Structure 1
């Protein structure tokens, strides 16, 4: 059966469609943005009572701080920073009313996990636009965007993925690990599944001292918690103990460190998008 003329015309037009434009280069940010990221993360940590834990050790048992009515607006603000809150606000508003009434069993903000929303809130509140840090309720998906920028614009990307054994974390960096059952062997394995959600977690580096790297993350022991990782003399993260989840990557933050605020301005001319 012969195809109608309009169908053939559509096929012809589809073949002549213009290719998608290349991605726009990311913008550089002043040092103030990087400082705000750390300051905001530490400020939230203090608002949650400054809980601290040691990496790869069991969390102390305590009532979930996220379920306290006083913390309801804090987690709500984190969820407002992402485009899709996965129904978190809709489902937790009635739980908040139940908690205010003093009823038992109102487990506020227990589902879905809000750790990625917290990270997104910090960067958004620090003034980092969605082009440079796309807010997302899933760590793996915003990491995909940051890794893509690093591949397309290696000298302009605001973040670069680094092997934990090769990059000593600095304040503002992200320390990330894989929470899935079948874990990635290295961060580059993520490239084969870009765009598919994977359970992951990231914390923001807020301080570095001899032998220790301090990070702050959300939904850690049901609060905004500081975790202290051991580090070697060079500042590199120590390896995870046997049976514990290792750090998958350190996402180096170059906020405030790129032209015209740092490095050589000649790097801009050398940066060309790659496919």
Structure 2
């Protein structure tokens, strides 16, 4: 064999090995079978992975480039199982128990009806899904489904970030993001604000009693060969994976940070365009299994989220839903009327 032919074969073999390794790095296709695993961290990863596959596996690579995004939150179909993205988001809200507290928002009560009637257009619900960030509802649903003891769901990431810092009953610890050794079940979080907080700024804000900050958290589902794989909801309007480089100690490495005065992303400043450039302010470190057991049962939940329940009345009503308007305080509720015929379907 000539030297040239031998080198070509070597390059081909190395390419196949690299390609095969890259394909094997995403552990979600195998993790989905472990949603009832005894380990809490594994259940979190398996449930988040199952949803990521349902959304056709969009991801942001370690260089901050978005790929493979095929389904968006507002669409009527496009999920792997043929389902509707916006109805799936409504399900996260409902099954996490967070839809009722959002009932004052336009379209929220409509989502309870849309979730049980697939022939109902649900325009009010679709508007609610688009207008209200749902990433915290997604995290809360995953945690509820995984049976994470001590976790209190919220429509705001800030609430469980604050709990990790101030509440000994939280299943998480509040840790500086660049010094944390990332592990399955952890959450990597950033602040979504014009101001840059960083770890110290966020800790100071929490300790000073700030009631809320716009934030986002991704759940770590796998750590493999120098990379961490994290999944979050409402990342570019989908359930999306983020790939983060790690150093030899398992800490985030080369993760770009927002700074004061950052230039805006534009065609003229493409070097500023990176979906991983955020105000990374905290890692929520999942407590060990034995510590979680002190907060409550760590056994897999023996139930699935309850089926959607049709609302008995609505605050922001949609014409044609057949749901009566809720009575004003101190007045009797109106008698429910039969549903009006619905025209068309999705």
Tell me the TM-score normalised to structure 1 length: 0.69
What's the CA shift for 1:111?
1.3
Higher Rg: 2
1:134 aligned to 2:155? no
Tell whether the 8 Å contact from 1:166 to 1:236 is kept in structure 2 after alignment: yes
The equivalent residue for 2:332 is none
After the TM superposition, which residues 223-234 of structure 1 pair with which residues of structure 2 at under 5 Å, given as runs? 223-234=238-249
What's the CA shift for 1:228?
0.4
The equivalent residue for 1:143 is 161
The equivalent residue for 1:219 is 234
After the TM superposition, which residues 24-173 of structure 1 pair with which residues of structure 2 at under 5 Å, given as runs? 31-55=38-62, 57-59=64-66, 65-69=72-76, 70-80=84-94, 81-83=96-98, 84-85=101-102, 87=105, 89-90=108-109, 109-129=129-149, 132-149=150-167, 153=168, 158-173=171-186
- Greater RCO (Cα-Cα under 8 Å, separation 6 or more): 1
Q: Output one character per residue of 1:14-36: Cα deviation in whole Å (capped at 9) or x when no partner.
A: xxxxxxxxxxxxxxxx9532221
Tell whether the 8 Å contact from 2:57 to 2:69 is kept in structure 1 after alignment: no
Q: Output one character per residue of 1:118-175: Cα deviation in whole Å (capped at 9) or x when no partner.
A: 000000111124xx111000111121122212xxx3xx75211111222111000000
The equivalent residue for 2:297 is none
Q: Deviation above 6 Å: which 4+ runs of structure 1? A: 93-97
Moved more, 52-61 or 32-41: 52-61
Unmatched segments (≥5 aa) in structure 2: 1-36, 77-83, 263-276, 295-346
Q: Within 2, Cα distance between the matches of 1:181 and 1:42?
A: 31
Q: Quick one: structure 1 residues 34 and 241, their matched pair in 2 at CA, closer, same or farther if it must change by over 3 Å?
A: closer
What's the CA shift for 1:37?
1.0
1:200 aligned to 2:215? yes
Paired residue secondary structure (2:289): coil
Paired residue secondary structure (2:179): coil
Q: Quick one: structure 1 residues 239 and 188, their matched pair in 2 at CA, closer, same or farther if it must change by over 3 Å?
A: farther
Paired residue secondary structure (2:239): strand
Unmatched segments (≥5 aa) in structure 1: 1-29, 262-275
Q: Within 1, Cα distance between the matches of 2:292 and 2:90?
A: 36
Aligned residues: 223
Tell whether the 8 Å contact from 2:172 to 2:284 is kept in structure 1 after alignment: yes
What's the CA shift for 1:58?
4.9
Q: Within 1, Cα distance between the matches of 2:66 and 2:110?
A: 27
- Aligned partner of 1:238 among 234, 248, 253: 253
- Aligned partner of 2:193 among 156, 177, 180: 180
What's the CA shift for 1:211?
2.3
Q: Quick one: structure 1 residues 164 and 92, their matched pair in 2 at CA, closer, same or farther if it must change by over 3 Å?
A: same
What's the CA shift for 1:92?
5.4
What's the CA shift for 1:61?
9.2
Paired residue secondary structure (1:220): coil
Q: Within 2, Cα distance between the matches of 1:260 and 1:63?
A: 40
Superposition RMSD in Å: 3.3
